[in-house]
Amino acid sequence: MRKYKYLIVFLLLCTLGLFVFVPIQAETNLVVLQRNGTDVYHFWSTEKVMIPESYTETDTEFRGVWVATVYNLNMPQYTSETQYKAAFMSLIQELQESNMNAMLFQVRPTNDAFYDSDYAPWSRYLTGTEGGDPGWDVLAWMIEQCHANGIEFHAWMNPYRVANTTYTQETYINSLSSENFAKLRSDLVVTGNVDSKGLNPIILNPGEPEVKEYIRNVVKEIITKYDVDGVHFDDYFYPYSGITTDTTTYETYKLADQTIDDWRRENVNEVVRGVKEDIDAYNAASGESVRFGISPFGLWGSGIEGYTQYLEGGSNTAPTNMSTYRTQYADSKKWVEEGWLDYICPQVYFSFTHSTAPYADVVDWWASIARGTGVDVYIGHSLSGASSGGWVTEEIADQLRYDQQHPEIKGEVMYSAAYLDYSHMQYVEANNWTITPLNIYESYQSDIQLTVDGPVYGNIYTDDVTVSLAGSDTIYYRLDDADWVEYTGSFMVEGTGAH
């Protein structure tokens, strides 16, 4: 992975000399959150939701957006190299206008790939035909463009999903490319229950040891072949609609006295734990800093006692809500507590006034779970839900303001790129995100030597000085509110004052 170092040069000339700038966030007064002149309360509580009186923009924060390629939601189908590159550069421009610094790009939407892989065919959502080779390295070019524009690239993967389709499993598998693992090993594929839309969720069987090995191999391939900054799984584990077709696998591999629910959870745990081990080993051997994160559905489970759905340590949300612990068999709480992730990005796609899972209660719970674990929290926000659900224009902006109460929350991710020009995000750009911050990781800010050469009176620099930077990796710098530029040689800082 190519590393990037970013530096804010902060010089005070003809006054106090050279300073190291460390942003300090002052304590902010809290006020009661209101909607339409009415106080907002926590779930099943008389406690009012308190929110910082104002938003304080920080110099270091993860600001990402999901770029969905499945069904060509956020990227068009490829027709030519020129057309596709232009579409991607327009996407980068959108991120820059929104002052974002990270892209979570869906490189494996349905057991396929947006790159030349030994484990999957080219995606139908790239060229229109599964296995259709565009003739150039699309992923390498996209990563290069992101890095050249100060944007991290996280490779978003769906580890299990083969399809959500109206076809039967047999019919759909027969339609796949001969290079698709699901066709090569159709014995390792299972179908979930038909969902509410009448679709059959077809997945790689999480209980099969060869599937677990396959997923780990997919991850190892991409981190060694491509300069990705992170590997990102989303919320699709076992099907949302449920599953009954894996009982034979359960009988084959279960441990003594292990329930089928616990067995399913451990299947997913094994992959999460193994991927983290593989990425850590790669980083240690190569000196790189690839990170691993997951964006589960926002509700692990309800902690309200007196109901059969109660889960010890769960959130202050209604027990009638869906639970990742019970439905997707995704024990996201355990992943954080065990440190099997670098970051967790729960999809908190709820407003402050949601009737069963209010935003404040869900976010408070995630911050409490991550506290002291070393796992960073990025909150996933639903720009699409805000637009279709009639949320007040300032809803997402207020969510960002609310998050600043929790030091565990190191960033925010928006779904999806298609909604960056909608009113809720435009409000954020105007009132919250007015500058592009550095990312939060030390590797992006450390090991830079700064030298200042100019007339000195006592220990004070005066007027014009020359600044030189040195480091082992590519360095970007900016002065005042100028754009980030790559450091190629010494530069002059002119005039007195702070820069």
Give pLDDT tens digits for 48-68: 999 999 999 999 999 999 999
Averaged pLDDT, 166-171: 97
| Cα 402 to Cα 52: distance, rounded to the nearest angstrom | 6
Secondary structure (3-state) at 489: coil
| Cα 37 to Cα 434: distance, rounded to the nearest angstrom | 28
% pLDDT > 70, the chain? 89
393 Rama sector, left if φ>0, alpha if ψ -120 to 50, beta otherwise: alpha
Local confidence band at 1 (pLDDT 50, 70, 90 cut-offs): very low
* Lowest-confidence segment of 72-76, 129-133, 473-477 by average pLDDT: 473-477
- Each residue of 380-409: pLDDT tens digit? 999 999 999 999 999 999 999 999 999 999
Q: What is the pLDDT of residue 28?
A: 64
Residue 37 reports pLDDT greater than 50: yes
The answer to whether 193 and 210 have CB atoms below 8 angstroms apart is no
Q: What is the pLDDT of residue 291?
A: 98
| Cα 458 to Cα 163: distance, rounded to the nearest angstrom | 70
Residue 170 reports pLDDT greater than 70: yes
Q: What is the pLDDT of residue 455?
A: 67
Residue 477 reports pLDDT greater than 80: no
How much is the CA Rg of the chain, to the nearest whole Å? 24
Averaged pLDDT, 286-294: 97
| Residue 416, preceding peptide bond in cis (omega within 30° of 0) | yes
Backbone angles phi, psi at 142, to 5 degrees: -65, -40
Q: What is the pLDDT of residue 147?
A: 97
Side-chain-facing half-sphere of 216: CA atoms under 13 Å: 23
Instruction: Report DSSP state, residue 202.
Output: E
Secondary structure (3-state) at 492: strand
Q: What is the pLDDT of residue 12?
A: 37
Residue 22 reports pLDDT greater than 50: no
Q: What is the pTM of this model?
A: 0.87
